[in-house]
Amino acid sequence: MAKLLPSKTKYRKVHKGRIRGNAKGCDTLAFGEFGIQSLERGKMTASQLEAARVAINRHLKRKGKMWLRVFPHKPVTKKPAETRQGKGKGSVEYWCAVVKPGTVLFEVGGTSQTLAREAMRLADGKLPFRCRFLSREELEQY
């Protein structure tokens, strides 16, 4: 399993930050006919992202194409267990993607709606927040 992480970063460690507001970009379908959109905010680790990606690809069985719309750019640090306070910030434990409400996480094209809906349902079970299914036809009606 290839772990998702940036090949090169300007800084090794970053501030924790806050996740406020709704998604500014990446909030509509851009590539496929169907997608999955987050309804809550949170951090999605690289392993959660990979698990959801594998769940979608296994269900599609090489029918259609899948696009990943988020990437884990943010390093999260952690100090070892039973360590005294002080002595600086801990080492990077994992990488995560910051997800705001309205962000499209995955897109699928070239498949039927029933197949895409089931694949997205399986992926939703792997994610740490609630999501909803999007289809291009339903978005064009409004």
Q: What is the residue-averaged pLDDT of the chain?
A: 92
For the full predicted model, state whether its pTM sits above 0.95.
no
- Residue 61 gets which letter from DSSP? T
pLDDT digits (tens, 9 = 90+) for 106-126: 999 999 999 999 999 999 999
- pLDDT number for residue 141: 73
Helix 46-60 and helix 113-124: axis angle, to 10°?
150
| Pairing assessment for the beta strands 104-109 and 131-135 based on DSSP bridges | unpaired
134 neighbors 82 (Cβ within 8 angstroms): no
- For the chain, domains (ranges, CATH) are 34-78+92-141 (3.90.1170.10)
Provide the 3-class DSSP secondary structure of residue 45: strand
pLDDT of residue 136: 85
Which pLDDT tens digit goes with each residue over 48-90? 999 999 999 999 998 889 999 999 999 999 999 999 999 999 9
- Can you tell me whether residue 114 is helix, strand or coil? helix
